[in-house]
Structure 1
Amino acid sequence: MTTSSSPDEQDLVDDLLTAADGALRSVAVYYETDYEMLYMRENVDVVYSHQERDAIFDDLRLEGWGRDRLQDLFNAGELECSVYGFDEAMMLHFVKNGFEGVFVTYDRGEGIDVEEFIRVCERHF
C-alpha cells in the first residue's frame, strides 16, 4: 500500500525501498494530531487495525515529548533517532519537532546496516 505524498516524501520512500531491497515494511510521518502512512507493504497493512495504528502514533508523540530529557540524561549530543529491535522487525523513530516525526520499519534479519539506513533517512530531513 502506497499513499499519496509530496515529492520529497516520495523520494524518501523510494530511497528506503532501494536501501531495504524488499525488506521495507512501512514509512510514516506524524504530526501533533494526525499521521500519514507514506508506504506500507500489503502483508504488514493487514496486521494493524486503525485503532492500533492510532495507539502507536499516540505513543510515538509521547516519546518525542521526552526527547529533550533523554538528551540531557545521556549527554551524548542530539538524539537522532530511537531504534527498536523486535523478533520480526526493526523500527526507527525520528523526532522532528515536539510531537512530530518520522517512523520507519523494516524486516529484521535482512542484512540491513542500521547506521547506513539511519543516514538514508537523515538525508531527507
Structure 2
Amino acid sequence: MEDGPHEDDAIPMPEQIPGELLEYLHESIGANFRGVAYYDRATVSTQLPSDGSGSFDEETLEEIADDLRLMDVGRTAQESLYSLGSLYCTIRAFDDALLLHFIQGDDRGTLVSLEPTTAPGLTDFIYDILHILHEYSDQEISRAPDWQAE
C-alpha cells in the first residue's frame, strides 16, 4: 500500500527570475520591455509587462525558452569552431522584438525580449546592411523590417 507522494515525485518549481534583473530591465528600458524567460533543464519562469504590452503570451515565451534550451547543446561546438572565446549571448532581430538570449551553462539561460527601438544604433545598422544588400548585391531582401521601413 502506498503511503502518499514521495519526495522524488514532486514537480520541480521554476526558479524565480532574480528581482535585480527585473528591476534593472524596468529601470533601464522601461516601456520597451516585452518579456523575460528564465529557464533551467526542467522549468521555465516568465515575466511579462503588467500592462499587457509584451510581444508574447506566457505559453509562447515558454515554448521559445524550450527551443533555446535545445540550441544551447551546440554552444560548445560553436565556441570551438569560431575560436572567438565564450559564447554568452545571441541576439535575434525581428520586426516586433529584439530577443537577447543569455546562455548560462548547460540547459540554463535567460531570454529578454525588447522593443526594437530600444537599441536604435543596432536596428539602424541592421536596416542599413539589409538596404545595401537589397540595392547593391545579388541577394534579394524581400522584407524590410517594419521598425525602419520609411
Q: TM-score range by the shorter chain?
A: 0.7 to 0.9
Unmatched tracts of structure 2, length 5 or more = 1-14, 123-150
- Secondary structure, in 3 states, of the residue corresponding to 1:26? strand
Unmatched tracts of structure 1, length 5 or more = 115-125
Once the two structures are superposed, what CA deviation does each residue of 1:45-94 show, in whole Å capped at 9, x if it has no partner?
7x4362x3443122111111111011111110111100010011101101
Aligned length: 106
Match of 1:84 among 92, 95, 116: 92
- List 4+ stretches of structure 1 deviating above 6 A: none
1:44 match: 54
Larger radius of gyration: 2
C-alpha contact 1:20 1:112 (8 A) present in aligned 2: no
Instruction: Give the deviation of 1:20 after TM superposition.
Output: 0.7
1:63 match: 71
Q: Decide whether aligned partners of structure 1 residues 72 and 56 sit closer, same or farther in structure 2, where only a CA change above 3 A counts.
A: same
Greater percentage in strand = 1
TM-score by length of 1: 0.74
Match of 2:19 among 10, 35, 41: 10
TM-score by length of 2: 0.62
Instruction: Check if 1:72 corresponds to 2:117.
Output: no
Paired with 2:54 and 2:93, the residues of 1 have a C-alpha distance of: 16
Paired with 1:110 and 1:54, the residues of 2 have a C-alpha distance of: 23
- Secondary structure, in 3 states, of the residue corresponding to 2:85? coil
| Matched residue type, 1:44 | G
User: Over aligned residues, Cα RMSD in angstroms?
Assistant: 2.3
Match of 1:106 among 82, 91, 114: 114
| Matched residue type, 2:21 | L
Identical counterparts, % of pairs: 25
Greater relative contact order (Cα 8 A, min sep 6): structure 1 or 2?
Answer: 1
Instruction: Check if 1:20 corresponds to 2:29.
Output: yes
